[in-house]
Chain A
């Protein structure tokens, strides 16, 4: 079992009342409300959180990136990954992930990631994402070609890592005269690639076809089980057996000395007006061409108030009730997470443990309690349940790098 620590790196010092007044806390919410002095303090507090997470026994630190919004301060996951590569010794640095379509030069990403892998002495896990709808608008990436760009940039990066240069790359969206990076990953054949996601079936299928573990981001237990069913079905088609080593799960989990205090702090998981990425116009989160065509009608209905959000989350009490948010003293949290682990059987778990305005003292305390009390108990559970991480199971890094495939007759499509 691989346990990671995660925080969105919330810009908790922004004036919340200004967001409410403006009516949005994403994309167009004016950055005059961003205070770099507070930003500097917060970045350094996050560094302290990561150092402690390593010290108390987490296996990995999960990083991500977003743009133009207070819910996440990381504008470039690779910057923090580079910092962690130098200041940590043992933890995996798990980027979930680099938003590939936003990049105009994926070879540059391949170089950055190779540098991080070498500096960290081979501790990089390089996840890739499509980037949220708003990220496309924030960076000018064409949402209508999001998936094509994702797939093409991925191919280019893996080639840059594995194919001897120099070579030329002529794609539909990316063309490179000379691919010949003088920075290559330490891990061979290349760093592990994990694919996080929320609702797009296409991404689950794509991940399974590449034999990349899929990390379900804060989905409900029911949604998660459906994702595994889809993933494992495709896995069987292409010739490998799915299961825990390919299943990752991000959960919002907060621990304090008492249930009361933990639940009070856990309310901060809904600090962005209850929305995952803050208040935003629906067309920002799903620009035309970004979503699956089958969801088009649902999204336009939602965007005009005629339907509910496909990403709608229940209220806080309900989220506590149905274990979408887990909060309590260590014993409470252990019991609830054991239940979740039994139900969903992941080999990778990411604990999104702090958010919003939870104080640094409480955040550090939560990390300490997780490391000292919760993780040891959960590791026992993982052993009992046979939940192995990709590292423990020593799975191949990709389908292309697999030597153990047993494809069914009617494989592939």
Chain B
């Protein structure tokens, strides 16, 4: 179990809940749209090598909602600002699903900065076939479960019957997701054209059984970032971080 140090830095007038743990190079972990639980085996594995910086996205979890925010790029700007405040501009970035989109936006706006970039089933680009799964028409639990190929892994993290508090948090996060990524849903129409300048060593990680962001989208990401390597994880869903933490931890370099 990692021991978190919690703070609430104010960025763009918004109190952002930030948890920090571990020692080493800073690694900013940008969570899924369903948030990041307090404890995960992945954090244990990474905290031995990195100083983990894990925010609740503004408008998600217990971070304050920026009423003015209108798109995912706004979120990326806030995180660039946060890293500058923390004197960690060169932090490595680990973006999970929705957070992968934000991490890519961050890297695109300061292409020389991230020490490394790891994108796990990133949203943000239209898959050539299929669509990014739309939360708007499925229940909270069904959506969260869709992130897992192995339902036992979901149960291990959230319990077979997630608490009502958890459901309220998911509904709250959904609302913020809608506020900034309703149409087009959870993607940008410009991002793929802006990724070519990124110099950080980049790894795209995709669970082969990802039902939230079709793995076919990896092709578009690779076309946009020809130097990026793609690692496909067999027998794993969207939430590689929670289903195959060892495999993911091994891929993250400073």
Interface contact B179-A144, CB-CB below 8 Å: yes
Interface residues of A in 283-325 (CB under 8 A from B): 283-284, 287-289, 296-297, 299-301, 303-304, 306
| Chain B positions 118 through 144: 1 when the CB is less than 8 Å from some CB of chain A, otherwise 0 | 000000000000000001111111000
Please report the C-alpha to C-alpha distance between residue A137 and residue B170 in the assembled complex, in whole angstroms: 19
Task: Write out the residue numbers on chain A whose beta carbons fall within 8 Å of the beta carbon of B168.
Answer: 296-297, 300
Given A140-B183, A142-B183, A299-B171, A304–B141 Cβ distance below 8 Å? yes
Given A144-B178, A289-B179, A297-B164, A284–B137 Cβ distance below 8 Å? yes
Interface contact B179-A142, CB-CB below 8 Å: yes
Given A27-B137, A283-B137, A288–B182 Cβ distance below 8 Å? no
Question: For chain A, what secondary structure do more than half of its interface residues adopt (helix, strand, loop), or is it mixed?
Answer: helix
The closest CB in chain B to the CB of A145 belongs to B179
Interface contact B179-A304, CB-CB below 8 Å: no
B19 interface hit (Cβ, 8 Å): no
Please report the C-alpha to C-alpha distance between residue A140 and residue B139 in the assembled complex, in whole angstroms: 18
Interface contact B137-A281, CB-CB below 8 Å: yes
B175 interface hit (Cβ, 8 Å): yes
B: contact size bracket: 20 to 34
The closest CB in chain B to the CB of A133 belongs to B136
The closest CB in chain A to the CB of B180 belongs to A144
Interface contact B136-A304, CB-CB below 8 Å: no
Interface contact A288-B171, CB-CB below 8 Å: yes
Task: Write out the residue numbers on chain B whose beta carbons fall within 8 Å of the beta carbon of A106.
Answer: none
**Which of A145, A283, A297, A306 gathers most chain B CB within 10 Å?**
A283
Given A283-B139, A284-B137, A287-B136, A300–B179 Cβ distance below 8 Å? no
Please report the C-alpha to C-alpha distance between residue A62 and residue B178 in the assembled complex, in whole angstroms: 33
B174 interface hit (Cβ, 8 Å): yes
Task: Write out the residue numbers on chain B whose beta carbons fall within 8 Å of the beta carbon of A303.
Answer: 139-140, 167
**Which of B140, B167, B171, B182 gathers most chain A CB within 10 Å?**
B171
The closest CB in chain A to the CB of B167 belongs to A300
Task: Write out the residue numbers on chain B whose beta carbons fall within 8 Å of the beta carbon of A288.
Answer: 135-136, 171-172, 174-175, 177-178
Please report the C-alpha to C-alpha distance between residue A282 and residue B174 in the assembled complex, in whole angstroms: 15
| Chain A positions 17 through 44: 1 when the CB is less than 8 Å from some CB of chain B, otherwise 0 | 0000000000110000000000000000
Contact of B175 among A137, A282, A289, A304 (CB under 8 A): A289
Task: Write out the residue numbers on chain B whose beta carbons fall within 8 Å of the beta carbon of A283.
Answer: 136-140
Closest approach, in angstroms, between the C-beta of A130 and any C-beta of chain B?
Answer: 15
Task: Write out the residue numbers on chain A whose beta carbons fall within 8 Å of the beta carbon of B170.
Answer: 300
Please report the C-alpha to C-alpha distance between residue A283 and residue B135 in the assembled complex, in whole angstroms: 9
A244 interface hit (Cβ, 8 Å): no
Task: Write out the residue numbers on chain B whose beta carbons fall within 8 Å of the beta carbon of A140.
Answer: 183
Interface contact B182-A144, CB-CB below 8 Å: yes
Interface contact A304-B183, CB-CB below 8 Å: no
Please report the C-alpha to C-alpha distance between residue A254 and residue B205 in the assembled complex, in whole angstroms: 62
A143 interface hit (Cβ, 8 Å): yes
Interface contact A143-B178, CB-CB below 8 Å: yes
Please report the C-alpha to C-alpha distance between residue A340 and residue B141 in the assembled complex, in whole angstroms: 43
Task: Write out the residue numbers on chain A whose beta carbons fall within 8 Å of the beta carbon of B137.
Answer: 27-28, 137, 281, 283-284
Please report the C-alpha to C-alpha distance between residue A344 and residue B138 in the assembled complex, in whole angstroms: 39
Interface residues of A in 252-306 (CB under 8 A from B): 281-284, 287-289, 296-297, 299-301, 303-304, 306
Interface residues of B in 65-120 (CB under 8 A from A): none
The closest CB in chain B to the CB of A287 belongs to B136
Please report the C-alpha to C-alpha distance between residue A281 and residue B140 in the assembled complex, in whole angstroms: 11
Contact of B171 among A28, A284, A300 (CB under 8 A): A300
Interface residues of B in 159-210 (CB under 8 A from A): 164, 167-168, 170-172, 174-179, 182-183
Please report the C-alpha to C-alpha distance between residue A284 and residue B136 in the assembled complex, in whole angstroms: 7
The closest CB in chain A to the CB of B177 belongs to A288
Interface contact B140-A137, CB-CB below 8 Å: no
The closest CB in chain A to the CB of B183 belongs to A140
Task: Write out the residue numbers on chain A whose beta carbons fall within 8 Å of the beta carbon of B176.
Answer: 144
Task: Write out the residue numbers on chain B whose beta carbons fall within 8 Å of the beta carbon of A306.
Answer: 164
Interface contact A144-B175, CB-CB below 8 Å: yes
Closest approach, in angstroms, between the C-beta of B62 and any C-beta of chain A?
Answer: 15
The closest CB in chain B to the CB of A303 belongs to B139
Closest approach, in angstroms, between the C-beta of A358 and any C-beta of chain B?
Answer: 32
Interface contact B182-A304, CB-CB below 8 Å: no
Task: Write out the residue numbers on chain A whose beta carbons fall within 8 Å of the beta carbon of B135.
Answer: 288
**Which of A140, A144, A297, A303 gathers most chain B CB within 10 Å?**
A144
Please report the C-alpha to C-alpha distance between residue A282 and residue B135 in the assembled complex, in whole angstroms: 13
Given A142-B183, A297-B168, A304–B139 Cβ distance below 8 Å? yes
Task: Write out the residue numbers on chain A whose beta carbons fall within 8 Å of the beta carbon of B164.
Answer: 297, 300-301, 306
Please report the C-alpha to C-alpha distance between residue A288 and residue B176 in the assembled complex, in whole angstroms: 9
Contact of A289 among B139, B141, B178, B183 (CB under 8 A): B178
Please report the C-alpha to C-alpha distance between residue A27 and residue B138 in the assembled complex, in whole angstroms: 12
Closest approach, in angstroms, between the C-beta of B60 and any C-beta of chain A?
Answer: 12
Closest approach, in angstroms, between the C-beta of A30 and any C-beta of chain B?
Answer: 14
Closest approach, in angstroms, between the C-beta of A305 and any C-beta of chain B?
Answer: 10
Interface contact A296-B183, CB-CB below 8 Å: no
Please report the C-alpha to C-alpha distance between residue A297 and residue B165 in the assembled complex, in whole angstroms: 8
Residues on A close to B: CB < 8 A?
27-28, 137, 140, 142-145, 281-284, 287-289, 296-297, 299-301, 303-304, 306
List 7 A-B residue pairs with CB atoms under 8 Å apart, sorted by A's residue number: A28-B137, A137-B136, A142-B178, A289-B174, A289-B175, A300-B140, A303-B139
Besides the known contacts A142-B182, A284-B137, A299-B171, 19 further A-B residue pairs in the complex with CB atoms under 8 A apart? A142-B179, A142-B183, A143-B136, A143-B178, A144-B176, A144-B178, A282-B139, A283-B136, A283-B139, A288-B135, A288-B175, A289-B175, A289-B178, A289-B179, A297-B168, A300-B140, A300-B164, A300-B171, A301-B164
